[in-house]
Amino acid sequence: MKIKKGDQVEIIAGKDRGKRGKVIQVLATVERVVVEGANLMKRHRKPRKEGEKGERIERPAPLHVSNVMLVCPETGKPTRIGYRIEGGEKVRVSKKSGKTL
């Protein structure tokens, strides 16, 4: 998968299209990513102890990796990702600026 934890991404499809955020978690086996502050879902929680109230917790749900695009740190625009071998090491490269990520 070309997107990694900690990357800045922009959502290109769905209800949160146009939002940007940091990747919190990558679920490689199901090809999904969790983006901070995007695709929020409400989780209802029952009271556990006596006297405690139930609550609704908002948390980000996973998005399919095809619905997000990496934001190039050089240009600040969404870009596709390629690979290049530099010094015997495989590195990610921005297709827009040509710089390593």
For residue 89, name the pLDDT band (cuts at 50, 70, 90): very high
pLDDT attached to residue 99? 87
Helices H / strands E in the chain, number of each: 0, 10
User: pTM higher than 0.75 for the full model?
Assistant: yes
Distance linking the first and last C-alpha atoms of the chain: 14
Query: In the chain, where are the structural domains located?
Result: 8-74
- With a cut of 90, say whether residue 96 has pLDDT above it: no
Residue pair 14/39 in contact (Cβ under 8 Å)? The answer is yes
- The yes or no reply on domain 8-74 and CATH 2.30.30.30 is yes
- With a cut of 90, say whether residue 1 has pLDDT above it: no
pLDDT attached to residue 101? 83
Q: What is the mean pLDDT of the chain?
A: 93
